Chains A and B, each alone.
Chain A
Amino acid sequence: MSRHFKKIKNIILHKGYDKKEIKRIKEDIEKNKKANVLAIYNPECIGIMNSTKDLFEHNVAIGEIFSKRAITEIAECIVKSNVSQVMFASIALGWKELAEEIKLRNKDIKIKFSWHGSHAMLVQRNETYFLYNILELLDRKIADSVAFVKESMAEFYKQKGYNSYFLPNTLKDLKVAENTVNIKEKGKINIGLYSAGNRWEKNTFNQLSAISMIENAVVDILPVTDLVKEFANMMNINIKDESLGYLKREELLARMKQNDVNLYVTFTECSPVTPLESLELGVPCITGNNHHYFRDSKLEEYLVVQAEDDINEINQKIKIALENKEEIIKLYKSWKKDYDKYVSTCLKDFIES
């Protein structure tokens, strides 16, 4: 049953109050009693979930909340658990009311939000709606501060007078699935292109075009949409597995690890995890210039494409990365150490805000 159908059924039959789920949430909150920061994430947003778990020790999964009763019960439970701060990782339906309820019951609990989008994504009206909700909560002093995962957004809202922080993503231990299929094709250039699909920001077709100009290349791409298949067919691009469906993170990482290079040259990002995952696995990853990683370093020269819609530049960067793989990974390891220190400082600043 699709998750949307489940949700609609829950709304109609139980007015949005899922007894089992609320019980589970309350138990999870109980487990995090007296936490300094309780982070709340939506388990449907995989990327945000992973980065929240990596940054915050105490966290609870709460999806969209559709019933007033559920909001009240969760708010009461959070207040009783004596946490000092509640950090909402992004925002979902019902969370605005939850924040209000918590503040109403105990104004000493600090309410914080993180925003994982970019201004470019505001063309999706839901994104605008949610960002405006957070700004409104800040204006009304219900939210105490906001962290942006995109550096330039953090700076913008700071300049606009908001209590705004930069909270970059990083990676902790990566779990890679064992005993997975061997996808490496010998004698070929194995290229990975994940989280692609037909969404504009993923820039799939410029990346595929660049791959088409690499001699002897095969691409492991996910998801394989009809349009991707049609394009690959038209441009003579070899896709490894056209029937590849949804994969767990561990399985995806196991595939990613077997490539010679991975591509993530998207149009807009905040602090993308895929390039870090790839590099952690020892595989260079080419990206767009829409994040803060590697800025003004040699790695930027190797890995960052300046013009994301320039097929030639992506193609050139793939070749350079293939030729300098060892040096890139060496440089990355050293960069990552300093970077993690920087992330810790940013996190500390946000928590202390």
Chain B
Amino acid sequence: MINIYILNSNQKTIKEVSKIGNINVNKINIDECAKYEENIKKDISKDNKFYYDYLRLYIAYKNGGLVIDGNVEIVSSLDSLFEDTLFLGYNNTNTILTNIIYSKNKANMNIAKILETIRNNKKDDIDITDIVSLSLNINLKKTINTTFRGNGITIYSYDYFYPIDYEKNGKQFSENTKIIYYANDKLGYRQKTKLNLFKKYGAPAAKYLSTMFDVARFNLARKKYNKQLKHGIGIDDKKLSKRVDEALIKLDEYKSKKAEYVIIHNPYWLGVTSATKELFTNLLPLEELYSANDIDRLAKKMLECNIKQVIFSAFNNGWDMLARKIKEYDKNIKVKVFWHGSNSQVIEFQNWNTNVMALNLQKEGIVDVFATCKESMLNFYTYQGYNTAFIKNTVNLEQELLNKILAEKESNKNTSEKLKIGMYSANMDWRKNMFNQLTAASLIENSEICSIPLNFDAEVFCSKVSQPIDGIRKGVPREELLMQMAKNDINLYVTFSECAPMLPIESMEVGTLCITGDNHHYFKDTPLEEYLVVKREDDVIAISDKVKYALENKDKIFELYNAWKKEYDITSKKSVEEFLEM
């Protein structure tokens, strides 16, 4: 016989609760509640933010059984849950609620600890999740809604008791949903629809219908976005023209410097921008161009500045028109493209669209050279009849910056027992191979992952495989990123497809090992390849073995790297010179 204690609930809830077989329902009315409140008066003041948590827990402690505070609906049998000694539930990814508590017996020791922590708490900035975590020596904020079992308590994921998405963060009903807790907040249209679908058709059907709806919505949004991108619908004309004004001023600077060439790049494409900065001078930041007037102003200015070559680093909408205009004004000005993509990216609409744009320009004789930073693309473009070149990306940090990073690295040496593994730009983009890298890191004993930006899906996965992960939620400036990279014992960049990634070289330059996939030309046919390059990016064991191997051979690797880098930089410089001479 299970004792159920119900507070602040309506008649419907009492009727619902009666569905649970073999129970004894105790509705705690105002008078009875007053008795409990009298008992806890000496422990906690009514102003304390944990007052109601304390009251519910106290009732569970005194009586044992199931305590429900608020209105609920029972969806399926709770029998399996009653086997637990004590349970609570997440109501969100990293917070729990005490509105539904079950304790098999009276005087549960874990509840006693939680009550004690509340009584002794002096801090304002903590919540009930912290209180339970502190009491039971677990970190419930790090388990990210993964059902926690251990230390004599079970904390169920939010779909068990609190599936309604009041927080609008994507919470779903599931096959696990046993109780639906109704807060007093009003429900929005989407939340109401989710609830009704679940109640009417059950979890699998509701999941199916909502997936279908999301797929349709996503496809429509993607089509709309691609259309907008192609035709410049909804763009900020003023912002783009302002950028053109700034470019014109920059061109004046280059005129006074008597610059022979300028290289145009989109400053918001961070990877392309940093690769361009490392190799070239005379950078000209520019976004997409939709205005004929802006294009004309730019082309005329280039003519006026006596620029001999215009290079486009990657390619953007409207840049084709600029290339045409330049050639129209002066066919002796060389127009070149430095392409940073690979044919793995043909499936990405904008990438393919701009790739075709640039290649067609060469077919038309507007573009003189189409260069690539992916070595294996060189033969392909040559075979296709394009005038092509291979430019070798590199990284050479300014000495002052490097000194600063290395000094910081020295003073912040990882003294903890944990091995720090860095993962950067890891997200749900397939190319980034996030899950294989997370799993590999989790096979390294006593390690923690530092990830920037910290991806939520990565956190959830790590909680499932008990792997510590931390990081910064949003992107950070390059300098800060380099600082973070430097602090780790090893960084991972085992992606599926690359051209000539900057990150591995940046990592090695700041003195941290970096493991990569075999999709670039670095270290080819050298011993470094064996130490740092994973051949099977899809194999978690191969990645983790490589991490261990690299850590064991750190000194040797850096000795080899320093020699390789000296040679490599010479060839990189030469590749740029040859490209400019073409």
Binding site for B on A (CB under 8 A): 4, 7-8, 11, 15-16, 64-68, 93-94, 96-97, 100, 118-120, 122-123, 125-126, 128, 132-133, 135-136, 139, 152-153, 155-156, 159-160, 198-201, 203-206, 209, 212-213, 227, 230-231, 234-236, 267-269, 288-290, 306-313, 315
Contact = CB atoms under 8 A, between A and B. Distances in A.
Q: Which secondary structure characterizes the binding site on chain A? A: helix
A241 B331 CA distance: 42
A66 B201 contact: yes
A152 B541 contact: yes
A152 B539 contact: yes
A333 B380 CA distance: 34
Nearest to B427: A123
B281 interface: no
A231 B429 CA distance: 23
Given A212-B380, A212-B384, A227-B346, A309 B496 contact: yes
A306 B201 contact: no
B568 interface: no
Contacts of B384: 212, 235-236
Contact of A198 (B209, B347, B536): B347
Given A120-B433, A213-B379, A126 B428 contact: no
B541 A128 contact: no
Contact of B439 (A16, A156, A311): A156
B538 A209 contact: no
B542 A152 contact: yes
Size band of the B side of the interface?
A: 35 or more
Contact of B208 (A66, A118, A213, A312): A66
Interface of B: 147, 149, 175, 200-205, 207-209, 211-212, 342-344, 346-347, 352, 356, 359, 376-377, 379-380, 383-384, 428-431, 433-436, 439, 442-443, 457, 460-461, 464-466, 496-498, 518-519, 535-542
B290 to A, nearest CB: 24
Contact of A66 (B204, B383, B542): B204
A125 B211 CA distance: 10
Nearest to A99: B175
B352 A227 contact: yes
A142 B200 CA distance: 27
Given A159-B443, A310-B376, A66 B539 contact: no
B541 A155 contact: yes
A123 B541 CA distance: 19
A201 B149 CA distance: 36
Given A155-B540, A204-B347, 16 more contacts: A7-B208, A68-B202, A96-B175, A97-B203, A120-B430, A122-B461, A139-B149, A160-B442, A205-B346, A227-B347, A234-B359, A267-B430, A308-B497, A309-B496, A309-B497, A309-B519
Contacts of A96: 175
Contacts of B383: 212-213
A94 B204 contact: yes
Contacts of A234: 356, 359
Nearest to B443: A159
Contacts, number: 163
Contacts of A156: 439, 443, 540-541
Contact of A128 (B202, B346, B461, B519): B461
Given A123-B434, A135-B464, A205-B343, A313 B204 contact: no
Contacts of A152: 536, 538-542
12 contacts: A66-B202, A119-B436, A128-B457, A132-B464, A136-B147, A156-B443, A200-B430, A227-B352, A268-B496, A268-B538, A308-B496, A312-B379
Q: Which secondary structure characterizes the binding site on chain B? A: helix
Nearest to A228: B346
Given A118-B538, A152-B541, A153-B540, A11 B201 contact: yes
Contacts of A227: 346-347, 352
A158 to B, nearest CB: 11
Nearest to A291: B538
Given A66-B201, A135-B464, A267-B496, A306 B147 contact: no
A8 B228 CA distance: 32
B435 to A, nearest CB: 4
B464 A16 contact: no
A267 B359 contact: no
A267 B343 CA distance: 13
B408 to A, nearest CB: 34
B492 to A, nearest CB: 14
Interface-centre pick from A16, A139, A310 (highest chain B CB count, 10 A): A310
B444 to A, nearest CB: 11
Given A212-B383, A234-B356, A200 B518 contact: no
Contacts of B538: 118-120, 152, 267-269, 288, 290
Contacts of B342: 206, 309
B470 to A, nearest CB: 20
Contacts of A16: 201-202, 204-205
A270 B507 CA distance: 31
Given A203-B344, A205-B347, A212-B380, A307 B519 contact: yes
Contact of B436 (A97, A120, A308): A120
A236 B209 CA distance: 43
Contacts of B175: 94, 96-97, 100, 133
Contacts of A66: 201-202, 204-205, 208
Nearest to B382: A213
A227 B346 CA distance: 8
Contacts of A67: 202, 205
B518 A123 contact: no
Contacts of A15: 200-202, 205
A350 B211 CA distance: 33
A235 B383 CA distance: 10
B226 to A, nearest CB: 13
B205 A11 contact: yes
Nearest to B147: A136
B205 A200 contact: no
Contacts of B435: 119-120, 122-123
Contacts of B356: 230, 234
Contacts of B377: 311
A290 B539 contact: yes
Contacts of B430: 120, 123, 200-201, 267
A227 B343 CA distance: 12
Contacts of A11: 201, 205, 208-209
Contacts of A312: 376, 379-380
Contacts of B434: 123
Q: Which 9 A-B pairs have the closest CB atoms?
A: A93-B204, A205-B346, A66-B205, A119-B435, A94-B204, A290-B538, A309-B497, A310-B376, A122-B435
Given A122-B435, A309-B497, A97 B204 contact: yes
A200 B347 contact: yes
A126 to B, nearest CB: 7
Contacts of B497: 267, 308-309
Nearest to A92: B204
Contacts of B147: 136, 139
A176 B333 CA distance: 60
A4 B204 contact: no
A201 B431 CA distance: 9
Contacts of B439: 119, 156
Contact of B204 (A65, A206, A213): A65
Contacts of A125: 457
Interface-centre pick from A64, A97, A133, A236 (highest chain B CB count, 10 A): A97
Given A120-B433, A307-B376, A309-B519, A206 B464 contact: no
B433 A311 contact: no
A119 B440 CA distance: 11
